[in-house]
Amino acid sequence: MARRSLNKTKLWRRIKPFLYLAPALILLSVWMYKPLITTFYLAFHKWNMVPGTDKKFVGLDNFDRLFHNPAFIDSIGNTVFYTAGLLPFSILIPLVLAVVTNNMNGKMKNFYRGIFFIPMILAPVSVSAIWRWLFHPSNGVVNHILLKLDLIQQPVAFFSDANFAKWIILLITGWKMIGFSVIMFSAALTGINREYYEAAAIDGATSLRQFINVTVPLMSPMIMFMLMMSILFSSQWTFAYIDILTTGGPYGTSTNIYYEMFRYAFSNLNVGFSSAAALVFFFIFGAIALLLNAVSRKLSFYDN
């Protein structure tokens, strides 16, 4: 009898940690691991997602077609363009804005930060509508001003011109991104001990010196974090504007891989092809994330 209850307590002790873990494990498996496994499975099949139809096993055929698809190759180039192009908007400009507004007095500081943050909370659809009006070829304010200033002779159809379409998508995404980064950097700034600046000032350091030698090193964990966010999520953040403003065009010049995946799955109803693309980028982005993690451990400086 005593032995039995001993066994019971032992068993209970063993189960207990998993009970604590259960909610997280269940959520993770339903929302992360199941889709991941399904994606892996679907990448080797041809299926149009219609209930009642069979998934056909096609081996590596999806991957083979993927790497021979010119649109996919182009979209990789654009993804790199958006990722690199977004860095000034997510790191450089916000860092400067955060430092500048940090030295202002309370009310002005909040006013400016409010202005920077507003674009972030606007719905992408309405934002797109406004930018579409601004850049409209015949009725838009931008064309009107450029014509008045004699900078162009003919109005430019910005969203139908391969030279401009992706730059405007980048600009809009960046404009929205700035607000988020400014808030993050401002939060990190308030955590810096003022004594460092006083000490530097007594040593005769100019404000630029203080920025480079005090602010930047102490902000490095946040800078690394924003760098990672920016690189990993730039494709997602450009998605809405691509969909609403250009649908990837003209002739596929403003699309990125997330938009292509979406099209393969929900427009062409070829979920296997889409999964294959997703799988390729799961590994690429995974490698980037690990690399950035390693770099971040090396470069970040914590003021403990």
| Site residues (vs another protein, CB under 8 A) | 14, 17-18, 21, 25, 29, 33-34, 37-38, 41, 48-55, 70-71, 136-139, 154-157, 159-162, 249-252, 266-270
Smallest gap from residue 262 Cβ to another protein (A): 10
Write out the DSSP string of 284-301. HHHHHHHHHHHHHHHH--
Smallest gap from residue 86 Cβ to another protein (A): 25
Q: How far is Cα 42 from Cα 11, in angstroms, rounded to an integer?
A: 39
Which residue, 124 or 137, is less far from another protein as judged by CB? 137
The residue with tokens 């998934």 is: 55
* Burial of residue 228 (number of CB atoms within 10 Å: 0-12, 13-18, 19+): middle
Beta-sheet strands, E only, within the chain: 45-46, 56-57
Q: How far is Cα 284 from Cα 45, in angstroms, rounded to an integer?
A: 21
Reduced DSSP (H G I as helix, E B as strand, rest coil) percent helix, strand, coil of the chain, to 5: 75, 0, 20
Q: How far is Cα 40 from Cα 9, in angstroms, rounded to an integer?
A: 41
Smallest gap from residue 24 Cβ to another protein (A): 11
Which residue, 34 or 209, is less far from another protein as judged by CB? 34
Smallest gap from residue 268 Cβ to another protein (A): 5
Q: How far is Cα 199 from Cα 80, in angstroms, rounded to an integer?
A: 42
The identity of residue 252, as a single letter, is G
Which residue, 146 or 214, is less far from another protein as judged by CB? 146
Which residue, 56 or 209, is less far from another protein as judged by CB? 56
Which residue, 182 or 245, is less far from another protein as judged by CB? 245
